[in-house]
Chain A
């Protein structure tokens, strides 16, 4: 199968690439654009470690093909820092001890960010509902929930 041309925006930069028709967005991000923040932990859509934001929605990048994101606006963990400043979620995750091994962290933060983009004042159960789409094997989730709550209380 021949490679096909596709254009989209990642972290405010426009990219044009030739990708294999069966290439997932996760592969494209990691292998071609060297954005390795999104992780592959299952490749099946069950863990959320590969979560990035596509057109304001959290997406499991292991489940969609790159050819599906023509002209899309994509945000990844690498684009969260603005002008050298950490995003409030990044800060809160650090300060609240929500990071252990860190393998789930980029996906978890992107899921939380997209929640806050949609709803800047989610309550605790809305936070739990949203992040329950992402697995974390280390933290027991308590400090992750507290980190997101912390950002909401400050906003």
Chain B
């Protein structure tokens, strides 16, 4: 029998929203501390240049300036997520590698003074030949950006399963295409900011981040301060989308300035600085070759994907792999070869994006439709035929324990009469779809698991303590909702202490879609532990069996005698009297193959479970202006079970905008290493008027491992929405896209070419 749930699965207002609608929520830039100094950073005007000398003497003499720092004030430590990717000094001493790179910084009593000082720093550069195009950078003789990386290849991921060449020879039909995509701006609405306060040997920090523990660890290495002395604190965060996952140069700089002055220091980036000097998204070139049997079974795949990695490694190996994995977690791949190259160029630092690798995924999916047509099939048939199902294994050996791919395809396409529309596509009007899977958590070594504790006050209210971080997606509310369900007390009775490295235990963060599947699983277990302790005492008081204990609306009773109720607060007090207060602890470690390594051993269980999703778009193309109009967009996502359906829908709706509509308008434009559209006037993000009619579908598969059956809540749409646009464009025009975004100039050019 399906257990009865009181809160989980309900459309509840998020607990954090009250602070946000009243303006009370404090984001990093809103923080004001006594004696706080303001920091400013001097940035490189060159994409590639040797630093000959930095003269800070004049800057230091400006009245009101309290500290000026350069790379020499650091500890010579280079940051990288992996031992083999440690290449980022945060404040370089040898040379600069991108326009906007941090060179020096100062802290002063106010912003104007800090700005004045920055302008007085004199840097002598010796310009070096730069390289901007990753394919150029890979050629012999290209200027080298880092030592020890021939042809500027930062990371090379090679995955090979089956006998690819033989499979191609035997294939009935083979197709090869090349696709490109400009990188995008995360454009989270909150520009990056950081506050640091070093006092009595302890460093407190506030900044938008997607994993406080991961951040603290990086800073501990960079600053040579033990972990217990670095305390990343909770703060409201104005969006992340993958762009706040790694340590930022600003964190290091502000910390160093605070250590020097022993005063709180705040740095708030402008929108342009956020675009140029916080993280950006990889530009991608993907060569996709696919071989099929007559019946539509895909038998061979050969992929070469080049990621424009910018100046430093960042999450290099992960970034160069993830687009492939989310695809292999979705479709059967008996014979597959993947070469992923992440290449250094003289451009800004890069990170993962919720919509990472769009050229690859959209390319694969649009090409699949062309193949389907060639074989007399349709997009639905070919996807259902090749899509993975629960119980199967992916090409690299991840077992799938729940899978709603089929349902998302069926539900999403049903809404627009897809089959008929696709077959009878009228000129310049089309439908298209894209599918993908997402891992609920990456392998992050001992950081892959999470733990939580819960304690009760004597009035029967509780506090949960978890490292879960909320970047805006609603993770805090989700954790409280789960705790409320297990503990039998309303959500308003539960406080949360989270995203604070001093109070909480290790956790992967919101990075890698682990919050629900891993973090909330630990919350559930901690609450179950507390509930057991409550039930233990209640059993005595109610003279019943433990299995009959029910806790509901702050009351404890036996299922067999529901009239006889005791308030939960009485039990809590009794526990205090017995010297055993109710304190629940719980942890969750997902089933991940810990021997798996992104480059050296890309095989084994990737994540505890995978979510599935399908995007469907309907659009028209104006042949005179080249403008695409998206009329309808359906997003169907298998999140196991939605904890808060309203919150999950919100994730899908955001994904439609951030990936789907972005596919026709968003892209970073570069000229000689300069980002030409760093602000929100030149870089267009969709407004309410750009949005089509949207529908979302939540598919329930009840994951056997996830908390209450839940999995990751919505990233599949961010990862598949642009595929739907690319496929619909093919259906409307008979042409595969060549480069995203499909802006009018590119559309008009494509319409001049032959179909196919």
B-contact 0/1 string along A55-83, CB 8 Å cutoff: 00000000000000000000011101100
Q: Which of B14-22, B127-135, B276-284, B312-320 forms part of the interface with chain A? A: B14-22
B687 interface hit (Cβ, 8 Å) = yes
Q: Which residues of A contact B658 (CB under 8 A)?
A: 137, 140
Q: Which of A2-10, A40-48, A114-122 forms part of the interface with chain B? A: A40-48
Cross-chain contact B21 with A132 (CB below 8 angstroms): no
Q: How far is the CB of B348 from chain A (nearest CB, A)?
A: 19
A-contact 0/1 string along B728-744, CB 8 Å cutoff: 00000000000000000
Cross-chain contact B680 with A100 (CB below 8 angstroms): no
Cross-chain contact A41 with B685 (CB below 8 angstroms): no
Q: Which residues of A contact B694 (CB under 8 A)?
A: 140, 142
Q: How far is the CB of B499 from chain A (nearest CB, A)?
A: 14
A17 interface hit (Cβ, 8 Å) = no
Q: In chain B between 626 and 677, which residues have their CB closer than 8 angstroms to a CB of chain A?
A: 646-647, 649-650, 652-658
Q: How far is the CB of A139 from chain B (nearest CB, A)?
A: 6
Q: Which residues of B contact A129 (CB under 8 A)?
A: 689
Q: Which residues of A contact B190 (CB under 8 A)?
A: 39, 41, 101, 103
| Nearest CB in chain B to that of A127: its residue | B688
Determine the distance from Cα of A81 to Cα of B473 in the docked complex, in whole angstroms. Answer: 25
Q: B679 touches which one: A44, A134, A137 (CB < 8 A)?
A: A44
A-contact 0/1 string along B260-294, CB 8 Å cutoff: 00000000001100000000000000000000000
Q: In chain B between 183 and 226, which residues have their CB closer than 8 angstroms to a CB of chain A?
A: 187-191
Cross-chain contact B191 with A93 (CB below 8 angstroms): no
Q: Which of B169-177, B235-243, B437-445, B451-459 forms part of the interface with chain A? A: B235-243
Q: Which residues of B contact A76 (CB under 8 A)?
A: 23
Cross-chain contact A135 with B22 (CB below 8 angstroms): no
Q: Which residues of B contact A141 (CB under 8 A)?
A: 653, 657, 687-688, 691
A151 interface hit (Cβ, 8 Å) = no
B-contact 0/1 string along A102-117, CB 8 Å cutoff: 1111100100000000
Determine the distance from Cα of A109 to Cα of B26 in the docked complex, in whole angstroms. Answer: 17
A-side interface residues, number (CB < 8 Å): 55
Cross-chain contact A109 with B13 (CB below 8 angstroms): no
B25 interface hit (Cβ, 8 Å) = yes
Q: Which residues of A contact B271 (CB under 8 A)?
A: 41-44
Cross-chain contact B238 with A143 (CB below 8 angstroms): no
Determine the distance from Cα of A135 to Cα of B665 in the docked complex, in whole angstroms. Answer: 15
Counting contact residues on chain B (CB < 8 A from A), the size range is: 35 or more
Q: A135 touches which one: B270, B649, B685 (CB < 8 A)?
A: B685
Q: How far is the CB of B494 from chain A (nearest CB, A)?
A: 17
Q: How far is the CB of A97 from chain B (nearest CB, A)?
A: 4
Q: Which residues of A contact B474 (CB under 8 A)?
A: 100
Contacts A129-B689, A132-B688, A137-B658: A101 and B472 contacting too (C-beta < 8 A)? yes
Chain A residues touching B, majority SS: loop
Cross-chain contact A41 with B656 (CB below 8 angstroms): no
Cross-chain contact A49 with B691 (CB below 8 angstroms): no
B471 interface hit (Cβ, 8 Å) = yes
Q: Which residues of B contact A34 (CB under 8 A)?
A: 32
Cross-chain contact B189 with A135 (CB below 8 angstroms): yes
Q: In chain B between 712 and 749, which residues have their CB closer than 8 angstroms to a CB of chain A?
A: none
A-contact 0/1 string along B321-346, CB 8 Å cutoff: 00000000000000000000000000
Chain B residues touching A, majority SS: loop
B27 interface hit (Cβ, 8 Å) = yes
| Nearest CB in chain A to that of B16: its residue | A102
Cross-chain contact A46 with B188 (CB below 8 angstroms): no
Q: How far is the CB of A150 from chain B (nearest CB, A)?
A: 13
Q: How far is the CB of B276 from chain A (nearest CB, A)?
A: 14
Q: How far is the CB of B376 from chain A (nearest CB, A)?
A: 36
Cross-chain contact A40 with B191 (CB below 8 angstroms): yes
Determine the distance from Cα of A41 to Cα of B11 in the docked complex, in whole angstroms. Answer: 30
Cross-chain contact A103 with B189 (CB below 8 angstroms): yes
Contacts A93-B21, A97-B13, A142-B694: A39 and B189 contacting too (C-beta < 8 A)? yes
Cross-chain contact A97 with B22 (CB below 8 angstroms): no
B750 interface hit (Cβ, 8 Å) = no
Q: How far is the CB of B231 from chain A (nearest CB, A)?
A: 23
Q: B472 touches which one: A90, A102, A135 (CB < 8 A)?
A: A102
A19 interface hit (Cβ, 8 Å) = no
A-contact 0/1 string along B468-498, CB 8 Å cutoff: 0001111000000000000000000000000
Contacts A101-B237, A131-B688, A138-B472: A86 and B22 contacting too (C-beta < 8 A)? yes
Cross-chain contact A143 with B680 (CB below 8 angstroms): no
Determine the distance from Cα of A27 to Cα of B490 in the docked complex, in whole angstroms. Answer: 40
Contacts A46-B681, A101-B189, A102-B472: A140 and B656 contacting too (C-beta < 8 A)? yes
B29 interface hit (Cβ, 8 Å) = yes
B30 interface hit (Cβ, 8 Å) = yes
Q: How far is the CB of A147 from chain B (nearest CB, A)?
A: 10
Determine the distance from Cα of A44 to Cα of B236 in the docked complex, in whole angstroms. Answer: 23
Q: Which residues of B contact A101 (CB under 8 A)?
A: 188-190, 236-239, 471-472
Determine the distance from Cα of A96 to Cα of B22 in the docked complex, in whole angstroms. Answer: 16
Q: Which residues of A contact B472 (CB under 8 A)?
A: 100-103, 138
Q: Which residues of A contact B680 (CB under 8 A)?
A: 41-42, 44, 46-47, 135
Cross-chain contact A77 with B22 (CB below 8 angstroms): yes
A136 interface hit (Cβ, 8 Å) = yes
A33 interface hit (Cβ, 8 Å) = no
Cross-chain contact B239 with A103 (CB below 8 angstroms): yes
A54 interface hit (Cβ, 8 Å) = no
Q: B21 touches which one: A39, A90, A103, A137 (CB < 8 A)?
A: A90
Cross-chain contact A93 with B17 (CB below 8 angstroms): yes
A-contact 0/1 string along B564-602, CB 8 Å cutoff: 000000000000000000000000000000000000000
Cross-chain contact A94 with B18 (CB below 8 angstroms): yes
Cross-chain contact A139 with B239 (CB below 8 angstroms): no
Q: How far is the CB of A79 from chain B (nearest CB, A)?
A: 9
Cross-chain contact B688 with A144 (CB below 8 angstroms): yes
A145 interface hit (Cβ, 8 Å) = yes
Cross-chain contact B29 with A40 (CB below 8 angstroms): yes
| Nearest CB in chain B to that of A145: its residue | B688
Q: Which residues of A contact B239 (CB under 8 A)?
A: 100-101, 103, 137-138
Cross-chain contact A86 with B21 (CB below 8 angstroms): yes
Q: Which residues of B contact A103 (CB under 8 A)?
A: 27, 188-190, 238-239, 472
A35 interface hit (Cβ, 8 Å) = yes
A–B complex contacts, Cβ < 8 Å, 11 sampled: A41-B271, A41-B680, A42-B681, A43-B270, A99-B21, A101-B238, A101-B471, A139-B657, A140-B656, A140-B657, A143-B650
Sample of 18 further A-B pairs with CB below 8 A, known A42-B680, A137-B241: A39-B29, A40-B191, A41-B238, A44-B271, A44-B679, A76-B23, A77-B23, A97-B11, A102-B16, A105-B21, A137-B188, A137-B658, A138-B473, A141-B687, A141-B688, A142-B691, A143-B650, A144-B688
The chain A residues found within 8 Å of chain B, CB to CB, are 30, 34-44, 46-47, 49, 76-78, 80-81, 86, 89-91, 93-97, 99-106, 109, 128-129, 131-145
- The 7 A-B pairs with the shortest beta carbon distances in the complex, nearest first, are A37-B23, A101-B472, A102-B20, A103-B238, A140-B653, A77-B23, A97-B646
The chain B residues found within 8 Å of chain A, CB to CB, are 11, 13-14, 16-27, 29-30, 32, 187-191, 236-239, 241, 270-271, 471-474, 646-647, 649-650, 652-658, 679-681, 685, 687-689, 691, 694
